[in-house]
């Protein structure tokens, strides 16, 4: 018969006649106790061993208990000193007797308390009387301690307990903290008849191997081997896979949601004419946001082509307004200014290009479009502001859209990111009317934060573009959403060449 | 966004709501779109609001809006004005760059310190917003009793002042906050206010100047003379505004007049005498615009009755009548109903009837609207470029690269010098940069013309982090190219670096092969020379026959320059090479 190495060792150590505790089997077999225990049970399951379980109580002397074995219990010492001083005849002064008994510290209280309890005498007004008939020299507690100490070395507490069969005395010693009581299950094993037979027929250890090899699989050798056990709880060496940038993951998630809501993605230039970035948006040319402080103008010639009729219509909207009752801005407007190239400050330039029909042809309602792309703002670079960041931009074109449709769309969108209870604060943008700032509660902190800007494009925007239907639009910074979902506190850890690789490697995935 | 500082006691007095606590006021103002921002050192409450309602730049204007909100006032109110006594004569010497003037006379003024502070604040805020830092419009307010008008004619009486243009050294006066006579030119050089606004008129041949019989008393748009300085003792004021647009300065003037009228002052017209025409100002003419009932209902998604709409207009400080012969109380208000809406002369933001729809929405309460998901079917989808980028990023992370996201803006130092690259060279990275006209940081002066420098910078900033560091990026690069419509050729590049103690050319090429395999394109790597790479260990990346990039071991001088103490293998190529033909 072939058995795993530990089982062979245990089987050889076991006896058919004596119940051997597992600890002793482990010792004799040279195995770790847990390995021996496992082998014993496996052998029992195979019918080679019988296992008996018994609940046992064991007592162990505490350090204090051990001390009193030689020195004597404090109350006994006090009694001896009292008898010596003649306290069995007349009361003696307590302090002196304590001194004579060589008691100090906590021993004094222990001695006095037990002296009275055991009926060795009484204490009154600082004087001590002793009962001459008390049998202090034959104190059962002292005797029990001595008996336990005597057998301690023999490791046979059963015998000792036979001598000390008075449970009250043992309880007392435990409560005095002189003994510790241990209750445990002792398992013993004996060879069954089958076990004896197996041993007589000869038992061999199976081979233990580290690795499963291709040869073992082809030869069938795997059937006769035993695999060495691993410490499966130990940490493995660090392995890192590549990971999509955490901000890209958030962008992908946003794109998924928007595509699911029926939005098509837009694409277009990062460097563009102010015409597409601002003029189409009915931003007056003297608007403070169009000064050189806020934008990144590029040192290149003006844009080569923009549709001339569109330029005329946009200029007319700025100067005269649109519609019978429309008024224009009382601001200067020049085509040269509109043709200058800058980095886009928002991706609404893409919306203008698409709505104008120059990108994918004239659009008939209904339409939904979006982009999640970089924009450039000349802001202060700090923990929450970057010179470049991603803007989520979206718009819906349909007949007869209302503010309620706009609200319903955003409620649906933000709900996908765990932001419920979106609030709409009336706002002003030159290009939308009505306009709303969107606020939502942070899912964990409950703080009210701005999560977007939205509105219905004005007639002065749509009419020059040739759009005859309603268009509602909104935008928000992707980083704001990402900081909410990743818990990043410094946006520079995420984005740019100051990125901390450890932060990126440890970032939780977004899904 | 504009911020208005408000003394809550003044606001209570001006609205007639003494019972309102500060918190009530904050909440009522939030409803109007004015958000509490904090308190000034003097205990004034600061509110931020959108730059449309500039008539709310003073406590008087805010009080007016609140009274409409509370229902204490309804409809359009226009202050009565007395007939003109003063004429502003516009002289032919007036600077061509700043030809317009307007103004008003204010009588029966009784300003305490708070009232005077409010007036000065309003003036400054209007300068900052509509006035475009005084370039488009500048306000001067003077104590009228200190002005001696020139008598216009013997019969009719009447006074005049003159707006003209003078030589920068042509006259002298004592400006505010000074006690000596100065020429306008000297003010620009020596007076603190003059220095601040010198740029506005630096190019003018003649400087704007206003005269009365006693001489020069105002030097717009820079500073007033000290003679006519306004104090709490002033009872009569002369307001003058000059600028580059008549409409703009007229509206600024109206906002000032409405604020003073709210404090009990009487407004008196002035005549503005241009060479070719005469205007009577302030211009309190009430504008009207027409809105259809249908547009209101469609935009707000709510059904209204005519009377309800008219009520909402009046609560917005507007007046409305049904334009047709239809009766306002007619329940059969239908899509055809047209409202004639009157707009008070302090409003600067109503450019189109839809601005009036917004007012109806605000008065109704946008909070009251029930969101609904539009019942519109459209098909969603990703742009092809975005799908290609995502697939490439997927391939890179599958190969173990950490996906990075770097700024598109960089500097010549990073993209050329520190990489050994010569501007104008014909290898990858040598293209003409797109320069930012007025860079504010030397770190961001151009759009990067290639992506590897960004990745090497990330390596440089992470030498304390665990190796190997395999980093990749799919991102925008740009070159100056005048043949492109926007003059900027934008491309997406794929770049990767392998920083490991045993990195070799083979490591980079192996990954390049894997990516090209994924996209089923042919890769060849003929030897090339590139100063960022070690000679003999650099190759051109040729995909389907086109040279689109470079692969190799980075040159030790580049590594040392970036404080790297281990070899780096790298590649970069044009993303479009992976796209199916």
**Which of B248, B183, B245, B212 has the alpha carbon at shortest distance from B89?**
B212
Helices A74-84 and A106-117 pack at an angle, to 10 degrees, of 80
End-to-end CA distance of chain A: 55
Q: Is B290 exposed, middle or buried (0-12, 13-18, 19+ CB in 10 A)?
A: middle
Chain A residue with the nearest C-alpha to that of B382: A265
- A423 and A333 in one domain? yes
Q: Name chain A contacts of B358, Cβ cutoff 8 Å.
A: 426, 433-434
Q: Between chains, do B436 and A434 touch, taking CB under 8 Å as contact? A: no
pLDDT band with cut points at 50, 70 and 90 for residue B81: very high
Question: Do B514 and B395 meet the contact criterion of CB atoms below 8 Å apart?
Answer: yes
CB contact under 8 A, A269 and B488: yes
User: Min CA distance, A231 vs chain B (Å)?
Assistant: 26
- Same domain, yes or no, for A204 and A295? no
pLDDT at B530 over 90: yes
pLDDT for res A18: 87
Between helix A5-13 and helix A22-29 the angle, nearest 10°, is: 110
Q: Once rounded to an integer, what is the mean pLDDT over residues B438-461?
A: 95
Determine how β-strand A127-130 pairs with β-strand A92-93: antiparallel
Q: Do B366 and A403 touch (CB under 8 A)?
A: yes
Per-residue model confidence (pLDDT) at position B264: 92
Question: How many distinct structural domains can be found in chain A?
Answer: 2
> Which among B53, B137, B360, B378 is the top mutation candidate for probing chain A, defined by the most A β-carbons within 10 Å of its own β-carbon?
B378
Q: Which two tokens stand for residue B513?
A: 């092969």
**Fold match between B3-70 and B287-340+352-367?**
yes
C-beta separation of B79 from B254 below 8 A: no
A202: left (phi over 0), alpha (psi -120 to 50) or beta: left
Longest CA pairwise span in chain B (Å): 104
Residue A511 lies in a domain: no
For residue A124, the surrounding DSSP H or E stretch is strand A121-124
Q: Does residue A366 fall inside a structural domain?
A: yes
Residue B231, CB-side half-sphere exposure with 13 Å CA sphere: 8
Q: Do A269 and B396 touch (CB under 8 A)?
A: no
CB contact (8 A) between residue B50 and residue A497? no
Domain assignments of chain B as residue spans, ordered by start:
3-70, 81-281, 287-340+352-367, 384-578
In a domain, A171, yes or no: no
**Contacts of residue B578, Cβ cutoff 8 Å, sequence gap at least 6:** B388, B392, B494, B515, B516, B519, B521, B543
Q: Taking CA atoms, what residue in A is nearest to B294? A: A400
**A395 CA: distance to closest CA in chain B (Å):** 12
pLDDT band at B90 (very low <50, low <70, confident <90, very high): very high
- Cβ of A263 and B402 within 8 Å? no
Residue A443 pLDDT:
66
> Containing H/E element for B402?
strand B402-403
pLDDT exceeds cutoff 90 at B323:
no
- Compute how many other C-beta atoms are within 10 angstroms of the C-beta atom of residue B438: 12
DSSP character string of A286-354: T-GGGSTTTS-BBSSPPPS---HHHHHHHHHHHHH-SSTT----SS---HHHHH-EEE-SSTHHHHHHH
Question: Which chain A residues are closer than 8 Å to B409 by Cβ?
Answer: 296, 343, 376, 387-388
Co-location of A208 and A252 in the same domain: no
Contact B352 A501 (CB under 8 A): no
Residues of chain B found within 8 Å of residue A381, distances taken between Cβ atoms: 441
Query: Which structure tokens are listed for A42?
Result: 């496996």
Check B290 against A258: CB less than 8 A apart.
no
Whether residues A195 and A304 share a domain: the answer is no
CB B505, CB B475: distance < 8 Å: no
> Does A149 score more than 70 pLDDT?
yes
On chain A, the residues whose CB falls within 8 A of the CB of B471 are 501
Q: What is the mean pLDDT of residues B420-449?
A: 94
- State the Rg of chain A over Cα: 46
Average pLDDT of every residue of chain B: 93
Calculate the alpha carbon distances from B479 to A347, A376, B388, B483 in Å. Answer: 21, 17, 22, 11
pLDDT tops 70 at residue A158: no
Q: Select from B487, B499, B500 the residue whose CB has the most chain A CBs within 10 Å, as the one to mutate to test that interface.
A: B487
Count Cα neighbours of A13 within 13 Å in the Cβ-side half-sphere. 24
Of A300, A325, A427, the CB nearest to B353: A325
B380 contacts A368? CB cut-off 8 A = yes
Least CB–CB distance from A456: residue in B247, B299, B466: B299
What torsion, rounded to 10 degrees, do the Cα atoms A131, A134, A136, A140 define? -140
User: What number of other Cβ atoms are within 10 A of residue B354's Cβ?
Assistant: 23
**pLDDT tens figures, A25-76:** 899 888 888 888 888 998 999 899 999 988 888 788 888 888 888 888 888 8
Q: What pLDDT is stored for residue B399 in this prediction?
A: 97
As a whole number of angstroms, the distance between CA B95 and CA A406 comes to 49
Nearest by CB to A501, which of B355, B409, B462? B462
Q: May I ask the CATH class of domain B384-578?
A: alpha beta
CATH fold of B287-340+352-367: Phenylalanyl-tRNA Synthetase; Chain B, domain 1 (3.30.56)
Task: For residue A180, give Cα distances in angstroms to A61, A153, A170, A175.
Answer: 6, 16, 10, 9
CA distances from residue A137 to A79, A80, A116, B444 in whole angstroms, order as listed = 9, 9, 16, 97
Contact B50 A427 (CB under 8 A): yes
Determine, yes or no, domain membership for A128: no
- How far is residue B395's CA from residue A251's CA, in Å, rounded to a whole number? 18
Architecture of domain B3-70: 2-Layer Sandwich (3.30)
* Residue A194, domain CATH: 1.10.10.10
Same domain for A389 and A305? yes
**A100 domain-assigned:** no
The per-residue pLDDT for A165 is: 61
- Of A267, A292, A297, Cβ closest to residue B383: A267
Same domain, A257 and A345: yes
- Could you tell me the pLDDT band of residue A446, with boundaries at 50, 70 and 90? confident
Task: Using the predicted structure, report yes or no on whether residue B389 has a pLDDT greater than 90.
Answer: yes
Indicate yes or no: CB of A499 within 8 angstroms of CB of B33: no
Segment B508-531 mean pLDDT: 97
Extract the runs of DSSP E, i.e. beta strands, from B417-532.
Answer: 434-435, 446-447, 469-480, 488-499, 523-524
* Residues of chain B found within 8 Å of residue A409, distances taken between Cβ atoms: 373-374
Give, in order, the Cα–Cα distances in Å from A397 to each of A206, A356, A409, A455, B459. 77, 13, 12, 12, 46
Any domain includes A125: no
Which of B396, B466, B475, B486 to mutate: most A Cβ within 10 Å? B486
Q: Which CATH number fits domain B81-281: 3.20.20.70, 3.40.50.10420, 3.50.40.10, 3.40.50.920?
A: 3.50.40.10
Query: Looking at residue B325, what is its pLDDT?
Result: 57
Whether the predicted pLDDT of B335 surpasses 80: no
Whole-angstrom distance, CA of residue A471 vs CA of residue A414: 20
Q: What is the pLDDT of residues A327-374, one digit of tens each?
A: 999 999 999 999 999 999 999 999 999 999 999 999 999 999 999 999
Give strand pairing partners of B470: B498
Same domain, A393 and A294: yes
Contacts of B369 in chain A (CB under 8 A): 403-404, 407
B210 pLDDT higher than 90: yes
The range of the structural domain enclosing residue A22 comes to 2-61+183-213+222-227
Mark yes or no for CB contact B405/A376 under 8 Å. Answer: no
Number of residues that this document lists for chain A: 511
- For helices B59-70 and B246-262, the axis angle rounded to 10 degrees is 70
To test the contact with chain A by mutation, choose from B290, B349, B405 the residue with the greatest count of A C-beta atoms within 10 A, namely B405
Q: Find chain B residues with C-beta within 8 A of A244's C-beta.
A: 393-394, 397, 403
Q: How many CB atoms lie within 10 A of CB A35?
A: 18
Mutate to test the interface with A, among B397, B407, B467 (most CBs of A within 10 A): B407
CA A288 centroid distance within chain: 47
pLDDT computed for residue B234 by the predictor: 94
| Partners of residue A205 on adjacent β-strands | A3
Contacting residues for B183 by C-beta, under 8 A, at least 6 apart: B168, B169, B170, B171, B172
Is beta strand B223-224 parallel, antiparallel or unpaired with respect to B215-219? antiparallel
What CATH number corresponds to the domain at position A310? 3.30.930.10
Structure tokens at A352: 């203008």
């Amino acid at each position: 018969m072939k058995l795993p190495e530990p089982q062979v060792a245990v089987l050889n150590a076991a006896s058919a006649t004596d119940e051997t505790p597992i600890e002793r089997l482990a010792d004799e077999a040279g195995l770790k106790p847990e390995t021996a225990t496992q082998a014993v049970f496996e052998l029992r399951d195979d019918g080679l061993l019988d296992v008996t379980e018994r609940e046992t109580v064991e007592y162990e002397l505490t350090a204090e208990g051990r001390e009193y074995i030689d020195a004597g219990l404090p109350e006994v010492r006090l009694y001896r000193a009292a008898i010596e001083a003649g306290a069995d005849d007349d009361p003696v002064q307590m302090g002196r007797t304590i001194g004579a008994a060589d008691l100090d510290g906590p021993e004094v209280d222990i001695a006095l308390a037990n002296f009275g309890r055991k009926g060795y005498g009484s204490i009154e007004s600082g004087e001590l009387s002793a009962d001459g008939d008390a049998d202090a020299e034959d104190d059962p507690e002292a005797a029990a301690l001595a008996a336990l100490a005597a057998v301690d070395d023999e490791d046979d507490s059963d015998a000792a307990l036979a001598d000390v069969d008075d449970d009250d005395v043992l309880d007392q010693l435990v409560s005095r903290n002189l003994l510790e009581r241990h209750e445990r299950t002792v398992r013993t094993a004996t060879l069954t008849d089958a076990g004896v037979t197996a041993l007589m027929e000869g038992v061999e250890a199976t081979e233990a191997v580290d690795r499963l090899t291709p040869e073992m699989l082809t030869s069938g050798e795997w059937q006769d081997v035993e695999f060495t056990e691993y410490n499966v709880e130990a940490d493995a060496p660090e392995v890192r896979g590549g990971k999509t940038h955490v901000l890209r993951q958030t962008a992908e998630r946003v794109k998924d949601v928007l595509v699911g809501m029926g939005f098509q993605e837009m694409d277009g230039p990062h460097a563009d004419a102010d015409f597409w970035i601002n003029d189409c948006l009915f931003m007056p040319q003297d608007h403070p946001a169009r000064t050189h402080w806020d934008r990144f103008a590029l040192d290149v010639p003006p844009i080569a082509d923009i549709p001339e009729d569109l330029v005329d219509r946009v200029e007319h909207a700025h100067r005269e307004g649109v519609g019978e009752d429309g008024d224009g801005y009382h601001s200067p407007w020049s085509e040269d200014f509109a043709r200058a190239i800058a980095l886009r400050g928002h991706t609404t330039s893409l919306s203008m290009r698409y709505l104008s029909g120059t990108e994918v042809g004239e659009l008939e309602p209904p339409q939904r479009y979006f982009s999640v792309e970089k924009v450039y703002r000349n802001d202060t670079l700090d923990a929450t502001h970057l010179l470049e960041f991603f803007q989520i931009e979206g718009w819906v074109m349909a007949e007869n859209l209302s503010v309620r449709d706009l609200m319903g769309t955003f409620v649906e969108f933000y709900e996908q990111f765990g932001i419920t209870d979106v609030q709409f604060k009336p706002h002003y943008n030159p290009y939308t009317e009505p306009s709303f700032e969107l606020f939502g509660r942070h899912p964990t902190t409950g703080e009210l934060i701005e999560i977007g800007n939205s509105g219905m494009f004005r007639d002065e925007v749509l009419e020059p573009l040739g759009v005859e239907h309603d268009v509602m639009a909104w935008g928000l910074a992707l980083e704001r959403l990402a900081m909410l979902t990743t818990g990043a506190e410094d946006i520079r850890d995420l984005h740019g060449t100051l990125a901390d690789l450890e932060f990126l490697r440890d970032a939780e995935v977004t899904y | 966004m504009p911020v208005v500082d408000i003394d809550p006691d003044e606001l209570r007095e001006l609205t007639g709501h003494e019972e309102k606590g500060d918190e009530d006021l904050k909440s009522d103002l939030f409803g109007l779109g004015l958000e509490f921002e904090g308190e000034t050192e003097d205990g004034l409450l600061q509110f931020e609001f959108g730059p449309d309602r500039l008539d709310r730049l003073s406590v008087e204007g805010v009080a007016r809006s609140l009274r409409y909100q509370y229902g204490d006032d309804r409809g359009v109110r226009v202050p009565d004005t007395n007939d003109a006594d003063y004429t502003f004569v516009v002289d032919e010497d007036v600077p061509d760059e700043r030809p317009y003037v307007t103004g008003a006379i204010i009588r029966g003024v009784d300003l305490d310190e708070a009232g005077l502070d409010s007036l000065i604040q309003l003036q400054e805020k209007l300068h900052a917003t509509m006035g475009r830092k005084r370039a488009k419009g500048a306000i001067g307010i003077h104590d009228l009793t200190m002005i001696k008008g020139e008598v216009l004619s013997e019969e009719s009486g009447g006074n005049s002042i003159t707006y003209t243009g003078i030589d920068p050294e042509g006259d002298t006066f004592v400006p505010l906050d000074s006690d000596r006579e100065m020429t306008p030119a000297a003010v620009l050089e020596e007076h603190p206010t003059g220095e601040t606004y010198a740029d506005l008129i630096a190019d003018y041949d003649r400087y704007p100047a206003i005269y009365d019989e006693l001489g020069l008393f105002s030097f717009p748009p820079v500073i007033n003379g000290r003679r006519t300085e306004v104090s709490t003792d002033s009872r009569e004021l002369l307001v003058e505004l000059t600028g580059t647009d008549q409409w703009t300065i007229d509206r600024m003037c109206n906002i000032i007049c409405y604020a003073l009228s709210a404090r009990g002052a009487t407004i008196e017209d002035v005549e503005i005498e241009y060479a070719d025409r005469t205007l009577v100002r302030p211009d309190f003419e009430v504008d009207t615009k027409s809105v259809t009932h249908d547009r209101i209902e469609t935009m707000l998604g709510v059904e209204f009755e005519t009377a309800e709409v008219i009520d909402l207009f009046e609560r917005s400080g507007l007046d409305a009548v049904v334009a047709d012969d239809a009766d306002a109380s007619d329940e059969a208000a239908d899509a055809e109903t047209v409202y004639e809406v009157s707009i008070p002369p302090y409003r600067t933001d109503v450019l189109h009837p839809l601005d009036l729809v917004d007012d109806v929405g605000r008065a109704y309460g946008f909070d009251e609207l029930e969101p609904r998901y539009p019942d519109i079917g459209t098909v969603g989808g990703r742009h092809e470029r975005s799908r290609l980028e995502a697939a490439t990023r997927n391939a890179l992370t599958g190969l173990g690269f950490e996906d990075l996201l770097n700024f598109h803006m960089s500097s010549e130092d990073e993209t050329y010098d520190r990489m050994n690259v010569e501007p104008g060279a014909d290898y990858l990275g040598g293209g003409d940069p797109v320069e930012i006209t007025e860079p504010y940081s030397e770190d961001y002066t151009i759009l990067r013309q290639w992506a590897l420098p960004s990745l090497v910078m990330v390596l440089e900033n992470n030498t304390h982090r665990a190796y190997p560091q395999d980093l990749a990026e799919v991102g925008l690069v740009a070159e100056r190219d005048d043949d492109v419509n926007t003059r900027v050729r934008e491309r997406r590049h794929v770049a990767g670096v392998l920083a490991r103690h045993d990195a070799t050319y083979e490591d980079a090429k192996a990954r390049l092969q894997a990516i090209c395999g994924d996209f089923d394109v042919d890769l060849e790597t003929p030897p090339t020379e590139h100063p960022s790479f070690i000679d003999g260990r650099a190759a051109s990346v040729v995909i389907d026959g086109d040279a689109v990039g470079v692969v190799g071991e980075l040159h030790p001088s580049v590594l040392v320059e970036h404080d790297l103490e281990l070899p780096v293998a790298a590649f970069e190529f044009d993303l479009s090479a992976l796209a199916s033909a």
